[in-house]
């Protein structure tokens, strides 16, 4: 019995170890290849550094400071707006009583299954008719709400007892005051979770940028990285340098705030 138990443990340790290697390998390749020249990238892929290593790949990314700035700008506005609309929406869906509330929320949830490509033509036409084509505002507008975030915050709001709000209502407090002074301070954790999810989403967001931006000086970081795909000559060094720039901020955020990520996913799953 014990020997079988030990063999089982050994096998699972080996599986976990090998999978860890497989998970780390691409990240390792990105981070090391970013500093290597084209020859070393292929001939010595596993070496951390070679005698030729340097910052030359990063120097080729002339447009990237601008792309990074664009990404920061768009991500900041999208995240802040989403946090606002998701929390007020969640309040309306959980703490206010009105006709059609549950059916509209169901409609919200159902929209999560629509791939963006299915609605992109009319959405594109609407954005263009507003004169927003090729502007950052287009990306911010189409991202002004989040079904996932609204859902997550609503789940939390529902755990706040109504009696807490009732006493304030009897004292004649307006709903906005209750929302701001009572409910929101209690919701800090879930708000942080939504904030992080939105940040991650917009830092990585690709499709809307691909559709709505054409001017090189407006490109966000993920869209900027497609510069390499269309070119005839493919240089992997600068690509890995760009990939490194795109994944490092999110990795740092994840490592320092991982409990929020895990919480967000678990709480969306259990009740789901």
Partner 1 sequence: MNTKSLEKTPWPTVLSFLLPGFIGFILFVFFPMLSTFLISFTNYSGGPNWKIVGIDNYLTIAKDKHFLQSLVVTVKFVLIGVSLQIIMGLLFAMLLNRNILGQTFFRSLFFMPNVLSSVGISLAFSLIFHPTKGVANQILEYFGLPDSPWLTDPSTALLSIIMVVLWMSFGYYMIIFLGGLQSINSSLYEAADIDGANGVQKFFRVTLPMLSPTMFFALTMCIINSFKVFDQIFMMTGGTDGGGPAGSTNVVVYDIYQNSFRNFRFGYASAESLILLIIILVITVIQFNNQKKWVTYDI
Site for partner 1 in 183-212 (CB under 8 A): 200, 203-204, 206-207, 210-211
End-to-end Cα spacing for the chain: 39
Q: Footprint of partner 1 on residues 51-90 (CB under 8 A)? A: 84-86, 88-89
Longest alpha-carbon distance in the chain = 74
Interface of this chain with partner 1, residues 2 to 31, rule: CB under 8 A: 12-13, 15-16, 19-20, 22-27, 29-30
Q: Which stretch binds partner 1 (CB under 8 A): 40-48, 49-57, 60-68, 187-195?
A: 40-48
Positions 87 through 126 that interact with partner 1 (CB under 8 A): 88-89, 91-93, 96-99, 104, 107-108, 111-123, 125-126
Distance (Å, whole) CA 268 – CA 62 = 41
Minimal distance in Å, beta carbon 95 to partner 1?
Answer: 9
Contact (Cβ atoms closer than 8 angstroms) between residue 264 and residue 193:
yes
Select 26 or 131, whichever has its Cβ closest to partner 1.
26
Rounded to an integer, what distance in angstroms lies between the CA atom of residue 185 and that of residue 43?
56
Q: Does 180 bind partner 1 (CB under 8 A)?
A: no
Give min distance, CB of 125 to partner 1, in A: 8
Stretch that binds partner 1, among 50-58, 62-70, 167-175, 184-192 (CB under 8 A): 167-175
Tell which residue, 47, 25, 22, 27, has the closest CA to residue 36. 47
What does the block give as tokens for 202? 């917009």
- Binding residues for partner 1, rule CB under 8 A, total 100
Quick one: 66 or 132, whose CB is closer to partner 1?
132
Q: How far apart are CA 225 and CA 68, in angstroms?
A: 11
179 binds partner 1 (CB under 8 A): yes
State which of residues 3, 217, 255, 256 lies at the interface with partner 1 (CB under 8 A).
255
Tell me which long-range contacts 108-117 makes (C-beta under 8 A, separation of at least 24).
Answer: 108/147, 108/150, 108/151, 109/147, 109/151, 111/147, 112/147, 112/148, 116/207, 116/208, 117/207
Q: Does 168 bind partner 1 (CB under 8 A)?
A: no
Q: Does 45 help bind partner 1 (rule: CB under 8 A)?
A: yes
Q: Residue 34: CB partners within 8 Å, gap ≥ 6?
A: 57, 58, 237, 240, 241, 243, 244
The residue among 35 and 179 lying less far from partner 1, judged by its C-beta, is 179
Helix, strand, or coil (residue 68)? helix
Which residue in the set 79, 218, 246, 260 belongs to the binding site for partner 1 (CB under 8 A)? 246
Q: Out of 10, 169, 177, 216, which residue is the one contacting partner 1 (CB under 8 A)? A: 169
């Amino acid at each position: 019995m014990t020997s079988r138990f030990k063999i089982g443990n050994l096998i699972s340790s080996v599986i976990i170890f090998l999978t860890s290697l497989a998970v780390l390998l691409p990240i390792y390749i990105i981070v090391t290849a970013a500093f290597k020249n084209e020859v070393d990238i292929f001939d010595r892929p596993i070496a951390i550094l070679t005698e030729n290593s340097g910052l030359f790949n990063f120097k080729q990314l002339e447009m990237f400071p601008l792309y990074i700035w664009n990404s920061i700008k768009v991500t900041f506005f999208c995240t802040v707006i989403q946090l606002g609309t998701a929390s007020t929406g969640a309040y309306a869906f959980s703490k206010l009583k009105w006709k059609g509330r549950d059916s509209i929320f169901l409609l919200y949830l159902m929209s999560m299954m629509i791939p963006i490509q299915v609605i992109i033509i009319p959405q594109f036409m609407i954005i263009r008719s507003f004169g927003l084509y090729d502007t950052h505002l287009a990306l911010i507008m189409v991202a002004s709400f989040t079904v996932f975030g609204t859902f997550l915050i609503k789940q939390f709001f529902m755990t706040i007892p109504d009696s807490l709000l009732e006493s304030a209502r009897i004292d004649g407090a307006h709903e906005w005051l209750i929302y701001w002074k009572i409910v929101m301070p209690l919701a800090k954790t879930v708000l942080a979770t939504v904030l992080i999810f939105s940040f991650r989403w917009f830092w990585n967001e690709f499709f809307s940028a691909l559709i709505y931006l054409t001017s090189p000086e407006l490109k966000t970081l993920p869209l900027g990285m497609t510069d390499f795909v269309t070119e005839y000559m493919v240089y992997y060094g600068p690509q890995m340098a760009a990939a490194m720039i795109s994944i490092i901020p999110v990795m740092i955020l994840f490592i320092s705030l991982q409990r929020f990520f895990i919480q967000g996913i678990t709480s969306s799953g259990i009740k789901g």
